[in-house]
Amino acid sequence: MFSARKWSGVFRAARLHHFRSHSVSRASPNLTFVPACLPPDPVEVEELQRFVSSSKRLFVMTGAGISTESGIPDYRSEGVGLYARTDRRPVQHAEFIRSASARQRYWARNFVGWPQFSSHQPNKAHLVLRDWEKLGKLHWLVTQNVDALHTKAGSQRMTELHGCTHRVFCLACGDRILRSELQEHFEALNPAWKAEALDVAPDGDVFLTDEQVRSFQVPACQKCGGILKPDVTFFGDTVSQEKVSFVHQRLAESDSMLVAGSSMQVYSGYRFALAAREKKLPIAVLNIGPTRLDHFASLKLNSRCGELLPLIVCT
């Protein structure tokens, strides 16, 4: 196995050099929010190839690290993640539910971030996983991301564990609408309101001052006047038991687990890795930087998802 310790040494050594050459490699894909790392080691490629080849029903879990190459920052990556660069934190579930001004702030920021956030496109890693599904290699994909990039890539055998920002529902009557539709309601209600999007977060959030937020009008549900909420599990909320059981069933049908682009710090995803360990499934982790699985994964790879996954031949 590749230990985290071994690779973190290499990782640190490569860091300075890579930061210097960062602007050169930024052209394509967008690497602004991707932590520095070495190109895939041929041994790494071979190990992952062996792992994928020996799997017949692969369970894949992805996190923010797979979307950074599409230009979306993650929260936790050292140096380039949102937590490292800013003091911004995502909205808490309880605050959104109880406070009208918290909802006003959330939606104003989300309204400003939406055009840019919704325009991000899947990268090579998303496309590879889509292809693995078509080839029958990938049994089920679970993403912790709310950016819809797997859907845009065409993945179908997939669960969005924390929902998706592209859908909105009413807390009172349950009516569902597309987030793009809501943008039109926002525009109609706020014809003269203007603010600029800087630094869009993994959930489409941008920073605005209280003064900018104060005059923003938030639409209610058109069917019942209820409160609208994105179909996203906010921090402090829990994933429904029904969804958790469904994912456990898909995992039970699988013969191995690949984690791509996640440090698995959030328990709602980590629990499935614990379940995989209990079932003694081989686990491979592809993530730049340490993860909660490093001490029990069969394979740990510190590479960019969009760089390593396309090198794997899937038959």
| Piece of the chain touching Zn ion by CB under 5 A; list 146-154, 173-181, 194-202, 285-293 | 173-181
Indicate whether 228 belongs to the interface with Zn ion (CB under 5 A). no
Q: Which of 172, 177, 275, 314 binds Zn ion (CB under 5 A)?
A: 172
Q: Which of 5, 12, 223, 279 binds Zn ion (CB under 5 A)?
A: 223
Indicate whether 274 belongs to the interface with Zn ion (CB under 5 A). no
* Complex with Zn ion: residue 226 or 310, whichever CB lies closer: 226
**Nearest Cα to 5, choosing from 298, 290, 308?**
290
* Complex with Zn ion: residue 41 or 175, whichever CB lies closer: 175
CB of 217 to Zn ion, least distance (A): 18
| Piece of the chain touching Zn ion by CB under 5 A; list 164-172, 246-254, 259-267, 300-308 | 164-172
Residue ranges of the annotated binding site for Zn(2+) are 170, 173, 221, 224
Strand partners, 30: 70
Q: Which of 41, 78, 95, 175 binds Zn ion (CB under 5 A)?
A: 175
Which amino acid belongs to residue 142?
Answer: V
DSSP character string of the chain: ---HHHHHHHHHHHHHHHHHTHHHHTSSSB-TTSPP-PPPPHHHHHHHHHHHHT-SSEEEEE-GGGTTTBT---SSSTTTSHHHH-S--PPBHHHHHH-HHHHHHHHHHHHHHHHHHTT----HHHHHHHHHHHTT-EEEEEE---S-HHHHHT--SEEETTEEEEEEEETTT--EEEHHHHHHHHHHH-TT------S--TTS-----HHHHHT---PPPTTT---EEEEE--BT----HHHHHHHHHHHHT-SEEEEES----SHHHHHHHHHHHHTT--EEEE-SS--TTTTT-SEEE-S-HHHHGGGS---
Q: Which of 34, 170, 293, 297 binds Zn ion (CB under 5 A)?
A: 170
The yes-or-no answer on residue 22 being catalytic is no
Catalytic residue among 162, 166, 185, 295: 162
* Complex with Zn ion: residue 79 or 225, whichever CB lies closer: 225
* Complex with Zn ion: residue 13 or 224, whichever CB lies closer: 224
CB of 103 to Zn ion, least distance (A): 15
| Piece of the chain touching Zn ion by CB under 5 A; list 52-60, 181-189, 191-199, 215-223 | 215-223
Q: Distance (Å, rounded) from C-alpha 174 to C-alpha 169?
A: 6
Q: Distance (Å, rounded) from C-alpha 292 to C-alpha 300?
A: 11
Q: Which of 221, 232, 239, 288 binds Zn ion (CB under 5 A)?
A: 221
Judged by CB under 5 A, how many residues of this single chain contact Zn ion? 8
Indicate whether 1 belongs to the interface with Zn ion (CB under 5 A). no
| Piece of the chain touching Zn ion by CB under 5 A; list 107-115, 214-222, 258-266, 269-277 | 214-222
Indicate whether 264 belongs to the interface with Zn ion (CB under 5 A). no
Q: Which residues bind Zn ion (CB under 5 A)?
A: 170, 172-173, 175, 221, 223-224, 226
Tell me the catalytic residues.
Answer: 162
